[in-house]
């Protein structure tokens, strides 16, 4: 099922910032796909499209600071793309800086999610780093939590109907009024992202052709 509201034409962005999910990394499949797609699109169009996919800390406050630093490097004319926890961070930045954002299975209230994992040790598959989920994770996310979306027209949601980690209905309620594409049977990793590149780049004013 797809819900698609009218979107006014956008001027092409000059930068794209991809924010990965919790305990993921800049070497993840989605991050690699985004980097390669940006390079391909910029070369085909002969226009600049800088792309940053920073590796973010598992500490929420530090991750937001890293994302903000990368955004400062790219400038004001940037499309934010965030997956899961990265979608939460992208929303923080989009609301603060009035930027367009594409959210892939975004975490709506991540403090509630990490509360279930307090005391557990996780290992990052991309860096080998191990860390424990502490009360500080919960406290930082609680402090960062926004109340509601003030500008739904800035967002495009890409949701998997069979997300095994986050209930997509939470995102539908929270981001009511935003342009939304739902992939039937899609998982949390949104492994079909390549099929949605045209919509993703169109949200940043770019026309994608494979």
Q: Would you give the distance in Å from CA 199 to the centre of its chain?
A: 14
Q: How far apart are CA 40 and CA 101, in angstroms?
A: 20
Concatenating the DSSP letter of every residue in 134-195 gives -HHHHHHHHHH--S--S-GGGEEEEEETT-SSS-HHHHHHHTTTSEEEEETT--TT-TTGGG
Q: Which residues contact 170 (CB under 8 A, 6 or more apart)?
A: 108, 109
Identify the pLDDT of residue 2. 37
> Among 175, 150, 154, which residue's Cα sits nearest to residue 13?
154
∠ CA(130), CA(134), CA(140), 5° rounding?
A: 115
Q: How far apart are CA 94 and CA 129, in angstroms?
A: 29
Contact 86, 210 (CB under 8 A): no
Identify the pLDDT of residue 11. 85
Residue 190 lies in a domain: yes
Identify the pLDDT of residue 6. 43
Residue 1 lies in a domain: no
Identify the pLDDT of residue 202. 96
Residue 4 lies in a domain: no
Contact 48, 113 (CB under 8 A): no
**In this predicted model, what pLDDT tens digit does every residue of 77-129 receive, in sequence order?**
999 999 999 999 999 999 999 999 999 999 999 998 888 889 999 999 999 99
Identify the pLDDT of residue 9. 57
Q: How far apart are CA 7 and CA 14, in angstroms?
A: 19
Q: Which residue has the tokens 């002969």?
A: 46
Residue 2 lies in a domain: no
> Among 114, 87, 119, 69, which residue's Cα sits nearest to residue 19?
87
Residue 208 lies in a domain: no
Residue 6 lies in a domain: no
Residue 181 lies in a domain: yes
The CATH number assigned to the domain holding 145 equals 3.40.50.1820
Range of the domain at 23: 13-201
Quote the pTM value: 0.93
Q: How far apart are CA 108 and CA 136, in angstroms?
A: 18
What residues in the chain have per-residue pLDDT under 70? 1-9, 210
Residue 60 lies in a domain: yes
Identify the pLDDT of residue 145. 94
∠ CA(156), CA(24), CA(76), 5° rounding?
A: 45
Task: Count up the domains in the chain and report the number.
Answer: 1
**Burial class of 210 by CB neighbour count within 10 A (0 to 12, 13 to 18, 19+):** exposed
Identify the pLDDT of residue 194. 94
């Amino acid at each position: 099922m797809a819900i698609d509201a009218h979107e006014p034409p956008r001027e092409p962005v000059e930068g794209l910032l991809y924010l990965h999910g919790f305990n993921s990394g800049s070497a993840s499949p989605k991050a690699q796909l985004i980097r390669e797609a940006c390079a391909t699109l910029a070369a085909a169009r002969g226009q600049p499209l800088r792309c940053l996919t920073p590796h973010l800390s598992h500490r929420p406050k530090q991750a937001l600071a890293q994302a903000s630093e990368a955004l400062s490097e790219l400038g004001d004319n940037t499309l934010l793309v965030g997956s899961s926890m990265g979608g939460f961070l992208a929303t923080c930045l989009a609301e603060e800086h009035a930027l367009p954002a594409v959210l892939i299975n975004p975490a709506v209230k991540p403090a509630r999610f990490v509360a279930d994992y307090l005391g557990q040790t996780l290992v990052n598959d991309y860096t080998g780093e191990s860390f424990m989920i502490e009360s500080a994770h919960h406290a930082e996310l609680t402090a960062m939590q926004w109340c509601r979306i003030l500008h739904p027209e800035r967002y495009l949601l890409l949701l998997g109907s069979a997300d095994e980690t986050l209930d997509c209905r939470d995102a539908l309620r929270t981001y009511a009024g935003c342009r939304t594409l739902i992939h039937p049977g899609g998982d949390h990793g949104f492994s079909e992202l390549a099929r949605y590149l045209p919509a993703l780049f169109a949200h940043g004013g770019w026309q994608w052709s494979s």
